[in-house]
Amino acid sequence: MRAENIFERHLRRETLFKGNREALYPDYLPDYLPHREEEIDRLAEILVTALRGEKPSNILIYGKTGTGKTAVVRFVGRELRRAQEVYGKKNVEYIYINCETVDTPYSVLQNLGNYFIEEWDEKIPFTGWPLDKVFSTVKERIDSWGGIVIVVLDEVDKLVAKSGDDILYQLLLLDTEMKNSRLSVIGISNELKFTDLLDPRVRSRLTQEKLIFSPYNAYQLEDILEERVKIAVKDGVVDREVISTCAAIAAQEHGDARRAIELLRIAVEMAEREGATKVEDRHVYLAKNKIEMDCVREAIKTLPLHSKLILLTVALNDEVGRTQLTTGEIYDIYKNLSRRAGLTPLTQRRISDLISEMDMLGLINAKVKSFGRYGRTKVVELALPTIEVKNILFEDEIIEGLKNVKVTAQKKLFF
DNA sequence: TGTCCACTGGAAGGGAGGGCTT
DNA sequence: AAGCCCTCCCTTCCAGTGGACA
């Protein structure tokens, strides 16, 4: 008998998706965005000025993750482009920049400048030029093009937190210094308090118009999911009930539509892999676990080495029942561990920052607590199951070398 | 009531690493 | 090759602090 090809069994299995599986991926932009009609209309109302050849107001958009900010902005951008095609004019450029990756003044300007590139122009390199040269090059290029530029800065709060508001100031300056072109900024932020970080002049000019996106509730999430299911999944595979479950879970987690969609997609994949013909609630819960675990794994794996050592310190102590540690205690043990691993320990100041970073990632919980006479420090505990954390940490070659290290209740290290 | 601990977290700056200009 | 610039990671320095204790 012929041995079965490794793919055959999987090929035989029927897929539960229709052709358009992308509809369940985060960067898919549907033709219809349920429950965001008002926001779309509002944005269109502001931006229509650009089609008339005048500069629209700067806009600041707030809202938690997964409330459709990015989708709405991209949607409106696409419509704007279409409108220009219909009228046969091309005097508006709509440029989307995600500040999660493009997070320095230099890179924002570089991105912008390379958008207006003619074949005889040289590209602005991703590093190397003095900032003012990049600025003047960008200004020159946009000005000689002569039109309205709308720059969308997604996750602008990240940019400002990292590099300050200089870049926003420069963009506003760019607008006033050009003769033939105008430039508007649309900032998108998850953080409501983000404008506190801004210089008052920048703030008032950036927030000429404000849009606030509130989180979706469970019913709205159901509508969104239903839209996507129609496009991406075969009929009868996903019941109303399963959609409700996904929506309910996501609604609990602050109404994040992105999470809801991802949850549903993975649930379908789980069912498919199982050879089931329908998705059940069970698959949704499996998917929920998988997503959580994948997130944690990814977060730990991509940690800098010294952060991993700190996490290992916390995990090893947790294992022997010392669930709470102060910065000083962590630092002592960390120092030993890193020497043991052949590394020079970083300073306590730096470790303090790394602890805070891991707190933000949700890997550990760190709270500042005062012990009165006995000082004031962070109290740190592991936020995840010890075994899981250790297993993932030991996937790192250098950390694996510390596999036999044990910690006793007296803080001593044993090898 | 004041003291004082064990840090926290801001500020400044060094230097390595990327890359460009001359 | 030397001399820039920008960013990232880290160190050094230090003023500031919540609250138990004397």
pLDDT, position A195 = 76
Per-residue pLDDT band at A203 (split at 50, 70, 90): confident
- The residues facing A96 across adjacent strands are A152
The pLDDT of residue A162 is above 90: no
Per-residue pLDDT band at A412 (split at 50, 70, 90): low
| Residue A9 approaches strand C within 7 Å at CB | no
Angle (CA) A142 A195 A165, round 5°: 45
Instruction: Please provide residue A322's backbone torsions phi and psi, each rounded to the nearest 5 degrees.
Output: -95, 85
C21 C1' closest Cα residue: A373
Per-residue pLDDT band at A120 (split at 50, 70, 90): low
The pLDDT of residue A218 is above 70: yes
Chain-centre distance of CA A17, in angstroms?
A: 26
Tell me what the mean pLDDT of segment A18-27 comes to: 83
C13 C1' closest Cα residue: A349
Strand C footprint nucleotides (protein C-beta < 7 Å): 4-14, 16-21
pLDDT, position A406 = 86
Strand B footprint nucleotides (protein C-beta < 7 Å): 3-11, 17-21
**What would the two tokens of residue A20 be?**
């358009």
Query: What is the CA A343 to C1' C18 distance in angstroms?
Result: 35
Following CA atoms A74, A176, A49, A52 in sequence, which dihedral angle do they give, to the nearest 10 degrees? -120
Query: What is the rounded CA–CA span in Å between residue A30 and residue A224?
Result: 10
Tell me what the mean pLDDT of segment A15-24 comes to: 82
Query: What is the CA A88 to C1' C10 distance in angstroms?
Result: 55
Query: What is the rounded CA–CA span in Å between residue A225 and residue A223?
Result: 5
The pLDDT of residue A106 is above 80: yes
Tell me what the mean pLDDT of segment A121-144 comes to: 84
Mean pLDDT rounded to a whole number for chain A: 89
| Residue A373 approaches strand B within 7 Å at CB | yes
pLDDT, position A326 = 96
| Residue A339 approaches strand C within 7 Å at CB | no
pLDDT tens readout for residues A355-399 = 999 999 999 999 999 999 999 999 999 999 999 999 999 999 899
Among all strands, which nt has the closest C1' to A350 (CA)?
A: C10
The pLDDT of residue A19 is above 80: no
Dihedral sign for Cα atoms in the order A120, A124, A126, A129 = positive
| Residue A129 approaches strand B within 7 Å at CB | yes
Query: What is the CA A238 to C1' C20 distance in angstroms?
Result: 60
CATH of domain A303-414: 1.10.10.10
| Residue A123 approaches strand C within 7 Å at CB | no
Query: What is the rounded CA–CA span in Å between residue A141 and residue A52?
Result: 22
Query: What is the CA A391 to C1' C8 distance in angstroms?
Result: 29
pLDDT, position A201 = 80
Higher pLDDT, A9 or A267: A267
Query: What is the rounded CA–CA span in Å between residue A25 and residue A228?
Result: 10
Contact A274, A237 (CB under 8 A): no
| Residue A126 approaches strand C within 7 Å at CB | no
pLDDT, position A190 = 84
Helix (H) or strand (E) holding A294: helix A281-301
Contact A231, A23 (CB under 8 A): yes
The pLDDT of residue A415 is above 70: no
Contact A324, A308 (CB under 8 A): no
Among all strands, which nt has the closest C1' to A122 (CA)?
A: B20
pLDDT tens readout for residues A233-261 = 888 889 999 999 999 999 988 889 999 99
Contact A60, A54 (CB under 8 A): no
- What are the structural domain ranges in chain A? 36-213, 225-299, 303-414
Higher pLDDT, A136 or A409: A136
Query: What is the CA A352 to C1' B14 distance in angstroms?
Result: 20
Among all strands, which nt has the closest C1' to A126 (CA)?
A: B19
pLDDT tens readout for residues A79-89 = 999 999 888 77
Determine how many CB atoms are found less than 10 A away from the CB of residue A146. Answer: 12
Tell me what the mean pLDDT of segment A93-98 comes to: 92
| Residue A307 approaches strand B within 7 Å at CB | no
pLDDT tens readout for residues A269-295 = 999 888 888 899 999 999 999 998 898
Please tell me whether the overall predicted TM-score, pTM, comes out greater than 0.85 for this model: no
pLDDT, position A411 = 61
CA distances to A43, A141, A199, A344 from A90, in Å: 20, 16, 34, 58
pLDDT, position A6 = 77
pLDDT, position A131 = 85
CATH of domain A225-299: 1.10.8.60
State the architecture of A36-213 in CATH terms.
3-Layer(aba) Sandwich (3.40)
pLDDT, position A166 = 79
The pLDDT of residue A200 is above 90: no
The pLDDT of residue A153 is above 70: yes
Higher pLDDT, A102 or A314: A314
Dihedral sign for Cα atoms in the order A296, A298, A299, A303 = positive
